[in-house]
Every structure is written in structure tokens, then in C-alpha cells.
């Protein structure tokens, strides 16, 4: 929206103001499935003090001297297995979610998207929204369960940008929605659709969430509790008699103790104990990414079948499903209340 103040000279430049924006944010991705871009991405990600809480004086020599010289090649190979013609699955799906929200919310709202690590960056897209006249911006981290290493670091990055702006936008933040009825209903609806379409009936459904160090729970981070509540509410909503559920945590890294039970260990345990048919859902991920498409769908299948399992399926995240987009629109409209006319 362009607003022209009154009683100004005719040649005064127009002032863009009064607009409302939404910035949809997800974790991040390298720009290409190659060691160089992966190294840059990991350097930014693993240098975040909220992600790795070891003091920099001890952590940076390990990161720069060992991890960034060994891990990028391995991670690049993993990314290459899931990369699409359009690019990183996470970036593609997040962009598609933002585009869908733009259509649903209409011309009175400008919807954009960003990655916390990598491109497009949060500062860049906040500035773009401000340049477009958006004085009120809803920051929407697509993390259903709150953690200091996810939601909080998105807010940190946005605050860093605001500190450098003379003319700041007014900011709201989408709260965690781990127990929101709209989210649980969307998960139950979409997972039921996918379970019904499988060529086999799973004996077990793993609900796999991204792992966090045990230390984060001990220090008061609510993430573990949020995951457990999502799992409990989802199991109640699914109403699948005979289907056994287990809640697990994936993506362990380093030597520290992580939240348990670990997804990879449970996959082997289930197969060795006689489970032949198993499915996995990842309710904590708003979009399919390396952790679902490679770690679960490729590595997970190998772990399960090599231990004696026979039929295995990874269910898609909400992505741009009808249920997922309806849920996201509902959440955004609620948080935009008072800023837009329904």
C-alpha cells in the first residue's frame, strides 16, 4: 500500500506504508548438494549458540578443525539423494506454502518466506517486506513444538535485524502450536489418508521427532514435553485400534546424551522383536526435508529391513496437503486478527 502524506510538495516521493506482511520461516538448507555450499551452511548452523551451547572457545576449534573438514562431503551426498530439479525439498515446499498462503490471505497481505540458515535470509526478507510498505509483520516459524534451538533462534535473528533498522516494523510471532486443535486435526486427517492408502497394514506407527540434547530438557526447554503432548493427542485423535504407537527422537549428533528413545535404535529393536510391518510419521516437521527423505526413508528402511523387518513406509509431512494448508491459514488468520479484515 502506498500512502502519500498531506500538504507535501508535488514532487515529494511516495511513501510506502500501512501494509501487513507475513514471513514464513523454516530451518534452512544449503544452496546446492555440494561440499562447498554444505560447508557454508553447516558453519552458520553449527555456530549458532542456541544450537550448540558449548562455549565458543572450546567448540569453534572442533567445528573449524574437524567437523567442517569431514562432514560436508558426507552431508552433500545425503542431500544429493533427495535434491530435486527445483532445488532443496525444504526450500521448495516452504516457498510453495508461502505462495499458497498468499493466494488464501489475499492482496491485503504480503506473504514471503525465509530460511533461518542459508538463503533467503530472515534479515533480507524482513527488509523486503518493509520496503514493500509492510509496517506490521507476522513472523511465522513453522515449528509446531517450541525449542530454544528453533523458534527462539528465529526470533533472535529477526531482532538482530530490527536493531539495525531506523524505521522498524511492528512484529508479532506465531506461537508454538503443538497442541492446537487445528494442528492435531490436520495431522490426524492427513496421516489417516496416507495410512489408508498403504499396501499393507502397519503393526507399529513410529512418531519420530527431531532430537535435542538431554541437557536442553534438564535446563527447562519445553520441547520434549511439547513433542510428548503432540504424540498423545495425535494417538487419541487417530483412533486406530490394533495399531501400536511409539514416540522416538532422531538425528543424534556428537557424543552428548540425547532425548530417548532414538529412532534408529527403535527401528532395529522392533524388527528384531518380530515386527514385520512398520510406518513412520514425523509430526514435528512442517515440510519434508533431509531428515525425513534421507534419514528416515532411506537409512531408516535399511535399518529396519536389515534387522528383519519386511514392509516399511515413511508418511509425508503436511507439506502442501489440503489439511496442512487449511491449518496454516487458520493459524495465520488468527494471529493476524486486528491487522486484517476477515
CA distances 95 to 4, 119, 166, 187, Å, are 32, 12, 29, 21
pLDDT given for residue 4 in this prediction? 44
Mean pLDDT computed over 315-332? 98
For 167, phi and psi rounded to 5 degrees?
-105, 100
Task: For residue 244, tell me if it sits in a domain.
Answer: yes
Residue 103 lies inside a defined structural domain of this protein: no
Backbone angles phi, psi at 289, to 5 degrees: -155, -170
d(CA 204, CA 202): 5
- Surface-to-core class of residue 226, CB atoms within 10 Å of its CB (0-12 exposed, 13-18 middle, 19+ buried): buried
- Domain containing residue 247: 181-314
Position 342 confidence tier, pLDDT thresholds 50, 70, 90: low
C-alpha separations of 304 from 231, 232, 248, 274 in Å: 22, 24, 15, 11
Nearby residues of 233 by Cβ (< 8 Å), 6 or more positions away: 179, 184
pTM for this predicted structure: 0.94
Which tens digit of pLDDT belongs to each residue from 179-218?
A: 999 999 999 999 999 999 999 999 999 999 999 999 999 9
Location of C-alpha cell 513412520: 280
User: What are 233's three cell numbers?
Assistant: 493427542
Number of domains in the chain: 1
298 belongs to a structural domain:
yes
- Per-residue pLDDT tens digits for 37-80: 999 999 999 999 999 999 999 999 999 999 999 999 999 999 99
Give the domain CATH number at 308.
Answer: 3.40.50.1400
Examine residue 288 and state whether it is found in any structural domain, yes or no. yes
What single string gives the DSSP state of each residue in 9-34?
-TTPPPEE-SEEEEEEEEEEE-SSSS
> In this predicted structure, what is the pLDDT of residue 87?
97
- 268 DSSP β-pair partners: none
State the Cα angle at 61 between 56 and 63, rounded to 5°: 85
41 part of a folded domain: no
DSSP assignment of 31-74: SSSSHHHHHHHHHHHHT-TTT--S-HHHHHHHIIIIIHHHHHHH
Residue 191 belongs to some domain of the structure: yes
In-domain check, residue 251? yes
CB 22 within 8 A of CB 137: yes
Residue at 147 is within a domain: no
Helix (H/G/I), strand (E/B), else coil: 2: strand
Amino acid at each position: 500500500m502506498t500512502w502519500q502524506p498531506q500538504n507535501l510538495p508535488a514532487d515529494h516521493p511516495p511513501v510506502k506504508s500501512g501494509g501487513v506482511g507475513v514471513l514464513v520461516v523454516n530451518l534452512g538448507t544449503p544452496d546446492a548438494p555440494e561440499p562447498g555450499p554444505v560447508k557454508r551452511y553447516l558453519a552458520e548452523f553449527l555456530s549458532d549458540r542456541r544450537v550448540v551451547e558449548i562455549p565458543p572457545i572450546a567448540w569453534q576449534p572442533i567445528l573449524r578443525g574437524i567437523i567442517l573438514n569431514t562432514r560436508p562431503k558426507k552431508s552433500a551426498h545425503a542431500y544429493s539423494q533427495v535434491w530435486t530439479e527445483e532445488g532443496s525439498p525444504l526450500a521448495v515446499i516452504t516457498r510453495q506454502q508461502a505462495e499458497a498462503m498468499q493466494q488464501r490471505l489475499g492482496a491485503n497481505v504480503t506473504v514471503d518466506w525465509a530460511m533461518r540458515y542459508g538463503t533467503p535470509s530472515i534479515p533480507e526478507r524482513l527488509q523486503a517486506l518493509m520496503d514493500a510498505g509492510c509496517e506490521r509483520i507476522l513472523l511465522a516459524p513453522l515449528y509446531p513444538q517450541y525449542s530454544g534451538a528453533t523458534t527462539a533462534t528465529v526470533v533472535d535473528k529477526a531482532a538482530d535485524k530490527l536493531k539495525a533498522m531506523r524505521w522498524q516494523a511492528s512484529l508479532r510471532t506465531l506461537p508454538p502450536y503443538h497442541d492446537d486443535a487445528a494442528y492435531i486435526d490436520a495431522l490426524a486427517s492427513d496421516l489417516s489418508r496416507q495410512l489408508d492408502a498403504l499396501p499393507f497394514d502397519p503393526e507399529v506407527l513410529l512418531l519420530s521427532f527431531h532430537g535435542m540434547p538431554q541437557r536442553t530438557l534438564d535446563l527447562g526447554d519445553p520441547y520434549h514435553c511439547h513433542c510428548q503432548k503432540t504424540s498423545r493427542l495425535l494417538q487419541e485423535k487417530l483412533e486406530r485400534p490394533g495399531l501400536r504407537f511409539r514416540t522416538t527422537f532422531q538425528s543424534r549428533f556428537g557424543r552428548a546424551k540425547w532425548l530417548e528413545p532414538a529412532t534408529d535404535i527403535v527401528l532395529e529393536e522392533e524388527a528384531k522383536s518380530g515386527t514385520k510391518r512398520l510406518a513412520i510419521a514425523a509430526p514435528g516437521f512442517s515440510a519434508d526435508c533431509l531428515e525425513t527423505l534421507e534419514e528416515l526413508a532411506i537409512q531408516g528402511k535399511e535399518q529396519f529391513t536389515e534387522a528383519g523387518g519386511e514392509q516399511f513406509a515413511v508418511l509425508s509431512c503436511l507439506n502442501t496437503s489440503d489439511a496442512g494448508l487449511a491449518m496454516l491459514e487458520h493459524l495465520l488468520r488468527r494471529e493476524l486478527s486486528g491487522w486484517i479484515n476477515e
